[in-house]
Amino acid sequence: MKTIKKIVTTAMVITLWWIVVEVQAQDKKVDPALRNELKAYTLTHIMPVMKLKRVILEDELTELEKKQIAGLRIQLTQIRKARKESNRTLWERMDGKELDENQTAMTLSERKQIRKIMLEAFSIADKHEKTIDQISLDTRMNREKWRKELREIIEKFKGKSAGDFFVRLERTGAGQSVRPALFLLWDPAKQY
């Protein structure tokens, strides 16, 4: 009887593990054509408008604030590179390996660094709250149109591993409003 329970339990654990691995694999298999179309739409419709709005904010920023923002962007880039390198550890964890103390400490340290960067960005954004709020109001109709058109693009690819891509966009609040700190940290000169 105990052996049957062990076998059933083991089978359930393996099945659950397999489901998690499959979901993550599907998540990574978003159709490249979908990615390309979303990127093209963003570059042709969204970026030009937001770049023009960013100029308004840029004119308001002091030289010191511009230097601070540039420094924050550099810090975020370094953290992203470190995360990419350590991302393998997350896949190892899926294989049943736990993060060691160094890896756990590194993850917690990165989170603290990002929180500190975002707090600094928010402190700068708070000084320009009226301008950012006005930009948000000015782009509201555009953002609603963009969300609708992006949804249509994603719906077109529904059967081709688009999965819950738009659900993720909805969950993260993409396009719902201009997020002050992120808008401030966004580098319009950078090609994505």
Q: How far apart are CA 134 and CA 109, in angstroms?
A: 35
Residue 156, domain extent: 32-61+128-192
User: How much is the pTM?
Assistant: 0.69
Q: 105 and 138 share a domain?
A: no
pLDDT one-digit tens code per residue, 2-33:
555 445 444 443 544 444 444 444 445 567 88
- Give the residue with greater pLDDT, 48 vs 102: 48
Residues 54 and 66 grouped into a single domain = no
Q: 3-class DSSP state for residue 10? A: helix
At 70, which amino acid appears? Answer: A
Q: What is the pLDDT of residues 30-81, one digit of tens each?
A: 678 888 888 898 889 988 998 999 999 999 999 999 999 999 999 999 988 8
For 192, the 3-state DSSP assignment is coil
| HSE toward the beta carbon, residue 165, CA cutoff 13 A | 25
70 with 88, same domain? yes
- Is residue 135 within 8 Å of residue 57, measured between CB atoms? yes
70/151 same-domain check: no
Least confident range from 49-58, 132-141, 152-161: namely: 152-161
Q: Look at phi and psi of residue 163 and say left if phi exceeds 0, alpha if psi is from -120 to 50, else beta.
A: left
Q: Do 133 and 52 sit in the same domain of this protein?
A: yes
Element (H, E) at 183: helix 180-185
Question: What's the structural domain count of the chain?
Answer: 3
Q: Which residues 6+ apart lie within 8 Å of 146 measured at CB?
A: 45, 46, 175
Chain position carrying tokens 């470190």:
82
